[in-house]
Structure 1
Amino acid sequence: MDTIEMKLFLKKNGYSLNHTIGSGAYGTVWRATSNQQTSPCAIKIVDMSRMCAKERKLIENEVEILTSSRHPHIVRVYEVLRTKRFMYIVMEYLKGGDLIDRFEAKQMTELETANIALQLFSALDFLHRHGIAHRDLKLENIVYATLPNEGTQVVKLVDFGFAHRFTLGKKVIQNCGTPYYMSPQVANCEPCNPFQVDIWSVGIILYTLIVGQFPFYGFTRRGVAHMVTKTHPKFSGGQWADCTPQFKDMVASLLRKAEEGRPNASEAMKILQELNCETHLQQVPEYTRKHSFFDNFFKRPFDLILSQ
């Protein structure tokens, strides 16, 4: 089935493809319009014939979780269409770019970072209460539904390819995700609480948004694992000097080596809600982001993604 046939199939179902906005090994994401709504949507077209049985199971699992997870900070799937070869996942169109896109423009302030954190923990609290762990939280998988010049900034979780349902309290060996965001338990291939792995990953994201580089990094997976398990992130000097002690303590609590020492999503939300960051940050200037390790990381040719 070529592009013309895809367009004809979708037209029969009330959709018109506009232009591509992304592509991967098994398909393409298009910006599209629907006869049923005025706002644009996104359609992820997946070539199921190019997938092995395990990969098809993963995409089916992702679709099942997304279609059953309605939350203001989780990308919404409207419907799923199928032919013998292709799956068409119709979802909301997120126009604002991901966290990396925004971070390239300027350093994040504590208030901006805390606002992002509240939205992430709201989504995670919902998922975790329903026994779902995302398992691949990272800057690229947090996307803005709003443009920078709009008022309230809204972010949403995307890419649930590794998401999975777990029994609360059960520990598992997790062998998926992205190394820079992996917890000490994942790095050591130890049984872990998958929900607490998500919490750790949010800690990595928040630290990176404030400082401008990952708290743990290396040029190989083994090097990253050593940093994650043997070293501790710094919370002094630089941008941390302009953050409240309460906010620093909250981020530090997310990055505690022992899972038992980290708050859950609900507890982290309460901590953030209790922080009165706004008064402090009214006097803090916006930063023009300086060159750092973080800039070069995304230009490297190597891929450190773990396989499931």
Structure 2
Amino acid sequence: MNKYTRIRQIGEGAFGKAVLVRRKDSSVQCVIKEINTTKMSPKEREESRKEVAVLAQLKHPNIVSYIESFEERGTLYIVMNYCSGGDLYSKINERRGQLFSEDQILNWFVQLCLAIKHIHDRKILHRDIKSQKFPRKISFGTVQLAHTCIGTPYYLSPEIVENMPYNNKSDIWSMGCVLYELTTLKHAFEAGNMKNLVLKIIRGNYPPVSPQFSYDLRGLIAQLFKRNPRDRPNVNAILRKNFIMQRVRKLLSDQDLADEFSHTVMHGHKIAKALPPAPKPSADPARKPAPGPRPGSANKRYDPAAVYGAPLNSARRSLGDQKKRPSTPGRPVPVPGQVDWEKKKKERQELEQRRRAEMRKRVIDMASSQSIV
């Protein structure tokens, strides 16, 4: 840290903070994320170092650039470029009800799509897309360093709040939340408390977008908010839409366009093969029992089950592993000692229904104590 002069703190999370600094040798301003690693287990500290190495590989004009990282006295420091123009959340608040033009909205959204495409093509999920993380460039943080479930509830997908398996389509839902926010200056799903917010997200109902915006834009928002993840388009499909591609061609040169769209998964190469050395760990502080990480906190790989309970598909897998008897027409009544497969099937369905009801009740009970400001 002796290379930098602190200016002011600009953000803080459960396990770290962001500080605006100035390099002493060039007077260039940067942002340093300070992560307290003393609260992490040895395995979590090692995973954080590996994820920082992955972060260093993300080179894209719409992603905030990584500069360097190092460790000192139990703290991991990540140095990033400073975006002085502010974020979309601030710009939305400054509008005071006056809507953005569709031209401006699509220009911003296309830049967001290009940034997300860059990480999805490399099999990386963002998991924390929101207007606060999108200045002119999207701020990308690792799961340990950036994601807090309860911290950003407006952008959570239905599969996450229902404790179901999730993939890159959860990022697509969050992108829909940002696009809706740009067109209406409001969150798509709002409520006075967490209980009602969770229910609104699960149902997927949101106030309609003003008809002053084009059919294409309103239709895209509807596609991004499909409750079933499989029905949502991936980011490459979004970018190939005619009215979106027109914007892409204005932002990218012919060479950049060819580079971006000549592949979907980095030409089959694994990003881990070219990783730079991870930050060199300093001597660990005196060992003492570390407090257990909180569910959904920033120092732990996000596990929906830790926040919302056991996923439903665990019961489905365990029951599905049982050997099923082929169905035959006119099956005779089971003899003593023989497995009644019809009865087993009915019991499995009832078990799934009970588990779903219990899980939803846990979600609502857990969330009811949280309030939305």
Q: Does the pair score TM above 0.5?
A: yes
Contact 1:26–1:51 (8 Å) recurs in 2: no
Q: Does structure 1 residue 202 correspond to structure 2 residue 191?
A: no
Higher strand share: 1
Distance change >3 Å, CA 54–CA 211, structure 1 → 2? farther
State how many pairs are aligned: 246
Picking from 225, 243, 254, the partner of 1:255 is 225
Deviation at 1:225, TM superposition (A): 2.4
Q: Does structure 1 residue 219 correspond to structure 2 residue 186?
A: no
Q: Does structure 1 residue 267 correspond to structure 2 residue 237?
A: yes
Q: Does structure 1 residue 158 correspond to structure 2 residue 140?
A: yes
Deviation at 1:54, TM superposition (A): 7.2
Deviation at 1:212, TM superposition (A): 2.3
Whole-Å Cα distance in 1 between the matches of residues 5 and 154 of structure 2? 39
Contact 1:76–1:92 (8 Å) recurs in 2: yes
Alignment of 1:22-41 (within 5 A): 22-34=11-23, 37=26, 39-41=28-30
> How far does the alpha carbon of each residue in 1:93-131 deviate from its partner, in whole angstroms, 9 at most, with x for none?
111222211111113322222112111111111111111
Distance change >3 Å, CA 16–CA 179, structure 1 → 2? closer
Deviation at 1:23, TM superposition (A): 3.2
State the match for 1:141 in structure 2.
133
Deviation at 1:51, TM superposition (A): 4.2
Structure 2: state its 5+ residue gaps: 248-294, 303-373
TM-score by length of 2: 0.59
Q: Does structure 1 residue 241 correspond to structure 2 residue 211?
A: yes
Q: Which has the higher contact order (CA 8 A, sep 6+)?
A: 2
**Partner amino acid, structure 2, of 1:264:** N
Contact 1:80–1:90 (8 Å) recurs in 2: yes
Whole-Å Cα distance in 2 between the matches of residues 47 and 163 of structure 1? 10
> How far does the alpha carbon of each residue in 1:279-298 deviate from its partner, in whole angstroms, 9 at most, with x for none?
xxxxxxxxxxxxxxxxxxxx
Q: Secondary structure at the match of 2:77?
A: strand
State the match for 1:185 in structure 2.
159
Contact 1:132–1:163 (8 Å) recurs in 2: no
Structure 1: state its 5+ residue gaps: 1-9, 145-153, 165-174, 277-304
> How far does the alpha carbon of each residue in 1:256-278 deviate from its partner, in whole angstroms, 9 at most, with x for none?
112222111111122242468xx
Q: Secondary structure at the match of 2:192?
A: coil
Contact 1:41–1:90 (8 Å) recurs in 2: yes
Q: Please, which moves more after superposition, 198-207 or 61-70?
A: 61-70
> How far does the alpha carbon of each residue in 1:199-222 deviate from its partner, in whole angstroms, 9 at most, with x for none?
010001111221122222223433
Whole-Å Cα distance in 1 between the matches of residues 10 and 122 of structure 2? 31
Contact 1:80–1:87 (8 Å) recurs in 2: yes
Contact 1:19–1:31 (8 Å) recurs in 2: yes
> How far does the alpha carbon of each residue in 1:223-256 deviate from its partner, in whole angstroms, 9 at most, with x for none?
22221222422435xxx22211111111111111
Deviation at 1:53, TM superposition (A): 5.4
Q: Please, which moves more after superposition, 27-36 or 220-229?
A: 27-36
Q: Secondary structure at the match of 2:28?
A: strand
Q: Secondary structure at the match of 1:208?
A: helix
Cα RMSD (Å) of the superposition? 2.9
Bigger Rg, which one: 2
